Amino acid sequence: MPDTGRGGARVKICGLRQPAALDAAVRAGAAYVGFVFFARSPRAIAPADAAALAAQVPPGVCKVALTVDADDAALDALTGAVPLDMLQLHGSETPARVAAVRARYGLPVMKAVGVADAPDLAALDDFAQVADQLLIDARPPTGAELPGGNGLAFDWRLLQGRRWPLPWMLAGGLTPANVAEAVRLTGARQLDVSSGVESSRGVKDPDRIRAFIAAAGVPALTA
């Protein structure tokens, strides 16, 4: 797990596509930067474009690939084209699939789990046995086109007092205005944001990125 040593929560800015947004995330103190490889997402990026952006990421900032039910052929091509530090599985992958991906690619794996009510939390215990990290997101509504990045939050009180034996990240409906409250209610030390720092669907806003990371208590770089 990245260690910036700079205090505050660790922030992941996901769905990056523009160099200016990537630069804003890094300079503001993001610990993770995420690239989306899911064709139906407005944040999808081609591997060649992601590779160019990844080359600009300094050491110590974790480069994450978000995939959705990708098969081995797709992951082979992706990992061969883009220098990555972590794979984020954001589909209906089973614990067995998570374990297989982790073994095949030798990269840390973060598994996203959608939560809407208390029974959904049980899956977190299963994935905690095979993943390197958990991402706790809002479960998408029935019929939603995207498994995440929908700007929806769940009842954060569901996570009060809950802990897992591995790092976990809170996602879903986070914005510069509510991130401090989300941390207060959940105790989250890692945060993932995508739509909450956009000026329009799929377009990251550098000012909102900076505001979000500052609200999470992370000091910006001085140079």
For 111, the token pair is: 């598994």
pLDDT in tens, 151-200: 678 899 999 988 899 999 999 999 999 999 999 999 999 999 999 999 99
pLDDT in tens, 47-56: 999 999 999 9
Q: Is the pLDDT of residue 108 over 50?
A: yes
Average pLDDT along the chain? 91
Cα of 74 vs its chain's centroid, Å: 20
User: Could you tell me which of 78, 90, 199 has the C-alpha nearest to residue 138?
Assistant: 90
CA distance 139 to 188: 18
Q: Hey, which residues are catalytic here?
A: 14, 137
pTM > 0.95: no
Contacts of 1 (CB under 8 A, 6+ apart): 10, 62, 133, 167
CA distance 155 to 162: 13
In the chain the domains, ranked by start, together with CATH numbers, are 10-215 (3.20.20.70)
The answer to whether 22 touches 205, Cβ cutoff 8 Å, is: no
Q: Is the pLDDT of residue 143 over 60?
A: no
